[in-house]
Structure 1
Amino acid sequence: MHRTRGTGPTHTLRHTVGAQPFGMTTTDPLRTIGPKHRALWASGSYATVAADLIPTLGARLVEAAEIRPGERVLDIAAGTGNASVPAAAAGASVVASDLTPELLAVGRAAHPEIEWVEADAQALPFETGEFDVALSCVGIMFAPFHERAAGELRRVVRPGGRIALLNWTPQGFVGQLFATMKPFAPPPPPGASPAPLWGTADHVRTLLGTEVVATTGTITFDVTRDPVAFREWWKANYGPTIAAYRAQEDPAALDAAFLEFLRRTQDPAGTWTAEYLVVTAVRP
């Protein structure tokens, strides 16, 4: 076994030197899909997305998870640390894992006290039962193979440990944004499931194989009151939107559909309201 190196705490990885990355075989679809997803989330500026749209959601999730000092916490698909930072502030020993090195670099530079590890949510390089808590803030939901990601989520948490997830709902703003972009977006990999399904309690309950406590909440997007400017913000900063536009020879139809969606969902105050689901569960 070998250990990662960094300024934060260390942990033992479960794959051996010379093995396929994260235990993958040479025929594993993640070997070809992974680089595409890294490139998707490295495009634009997810740090801007996190700061402009969801600055409070990580703390909301940490509160729901009831993180305690001294606990060992894994943040899956952590991005730049939206949930990792408040978990560490609560006194936990935090590992922030993400598929995209560019996002990890941003988080590591700002918060060297956290351990930042490159890892695919669907093939985590951690020992079975290594963590007291595993959480993910609008992150794990974008792993294309839900059952595989959920299996890894369950595996790395000790029996009696806790799982806490915050995901966009299908009927909320982000779920409907993905529905708007779907006809224009590159096709998903074979066997992939739609990301917003993670925003339904029944789906998460089935994936985790245990009872869950689920509540919904909303957050206001107030980057700009101008729908055209807000469309351009998404085009500049958000990886899935950038990918949809890159797939167009002529973006006029997508521009029109996007603008119609934003005008339809804008509230009387000129902002947009996004619904999310918080799910907590105890690992059997």
Structure 2
Amino acid sequence: MIEQVDVDRAVKARHRQMWALGSYAAVAAEVIPELGTTLVRAAGVGPGDRVLDVAAGTGNAAIPAALAGARVVASDLTPELLEIGRALAAERGAELEWQEADAEALPYADGEFDRVLSCVGVMFAPRHRAAADELVRVCRPGGTIALASWTPEGFIGQMFAAMKPYAPPPPPGAQPPPLWGDEEHVRALLGDRVADLVLRRAVVTVDRFATAEEFRDYFKAHYGPTIAVYRAVAEDPERVAALDGDLADLARRHLDAGVMRWEYLLVTARRGG
């Protein structure tokens, strides 16, 4: 019998490999560069705050938080992303810590941070309850939890729905990432452990792609989850062509004069005492 710990280890290894594919740094910098700064502002990050960015990737939120004067730890499961983040932080003159860590089992003390952030990151941890428990645990009483997550109804949520028929089945117990963009799901995850919970839908304007095909080809080359799905059907040219068509059709419906608007849920909450 396969032990659950071995299954979990294999799932995490696949997640690391997926996010190391392509160039998430390019997506963060070229497609959604302002999203991290928006989250930092919503969280009220300021000088001297002890901040943890969970599933930080290459630092889309962590670097602006450090530049705002906070003492920041950027944690992520994928070491390749952390290495890129270190280089980007050095270029921008930001000083912060970079640590490999699992969002479902963070290696930090209870209440260690004043503000706990995640910018379209923690939503990809497969077990949402475990990840939410960790976000709450490491935030001090009275501290702030702030999250930005793609909504199920928004463009990225619809993209994941379009890719699902082509993707391998998810591991047992894994939940769809865009559920973190559903208000009721987030309320259930955080529960009465937080106060002053504010959930607001917003959009990030994307003007990087002139055509639907340009979007598709960019994500096909740069975005780890999309690359992984294409690899899963690579030996079947008909399914590759069908996926090509589905992603281009989706982008075409959302593209208006070279502009797309991607919806996300912005969450802020204060940890209860």
TM-score by length of 2: 0.92
User: Is the contact made by 1:162 and 1:282 (CA closer than 8 Å) also made in structure 2?
Assistant: yes
- How far apart are 1:110 and its partner, in Å? 2.6
Residues 1:258 and 2:247 are matched in the alignment:
yes
Query: What CA distance in whole angstroms lies between the structure 2 residues aligned with 1:157 and 1:259?
Result: 41
- How far apart are 1:83 and its partner, in Å? 0.3
Give the root-mean-square deviation of aligned CA atoms: 1.3
The number of residue pairs the alignment matches comes to 259
Residues 1:230 and 2:215 are matched in the alignment:
yes
User: Is the contact made by 2:150 and 2:178 (CA closer than 8 Å) also made in structure 1?
Assistant: yes
Structure 1 vs Structure 2: percent identity of aligned residues?
Answer: 59
Letter in 1 for 2:81: L
Query: What CA distance in whole angstroms lies between the structure 2 residues aligned with 1:39 and 1:195?
Result: 17
Query: What CA distance in whole angstroms lies between the structure 1 residues aligned with 2:76 and 2:173?
Result: 22
In structure 2, the residue matched to 1:3 is none
In structure 2, the residue matched to 1:35 is 13
- How far apart are 1:28 and its partner, in Å? 5.8
User: Is the contact made by 1:98 and 1:118 (CA closer than 8 Å) also made in structure 2?
Assistant: yes
Higher fraction of helix: 2
> Which aligned segments of 4 or more residues in structure 1 are displaced greater than 4 angstroms?
none
**Pairwise mapping of residues 197-216 of structure 1 onto structure 2 (< 5 A)?**
197-209=179-191, 210-211=194-195, 212-216=197-201
Residues 1:66 and 2:41 are matched in the alignment:
no
Matched residue of 2:169: which SS? Answer: coil
Please, which runs of 5 or more residues in structure 2 have no aligned partner? none
- How far apart are 1:30 and its partner, in Å? 2.7
Instruction: Decide which moves more: 166-175 or 219-228.
Output: 219-228
Residues 1:132 and 2:114 are matched in the alignment:
yes
Query: What CA distance in whole angstroms lies between the structure 2 residues aligned with 1:124 and 1:218?
Result: 29
Query: What CA distance in whole angstroms lies between the structure 1 residues aligned with 2:260 and 2:230?
Result: 22
User: Is the contact made by 1:44 and 1:236 (CA closer than 8 Å) also made in structure 2?
Assistant: yes
User: Is the contact made by 2:57 and 2:81 (CA closer than 8 Å) also made in structure 1?
Assistant: yes
Letter in 2 for 1:73: V
Instruction: Decide which moves more: 164-173 or 248-257.
Output: 248-257
Query: What CA distance in whole angstroms lies between the structure 2 residues aligned with 1:215 and 1:26?
Result: 37
**C-alpha spacing 1:202/1:235, structure 2 compared with 1 (3 Å):** same
Query: What CA distance in whole angstroms lies between the structure 2 residues aligned with 1:260 and 1:111?
Result: 37
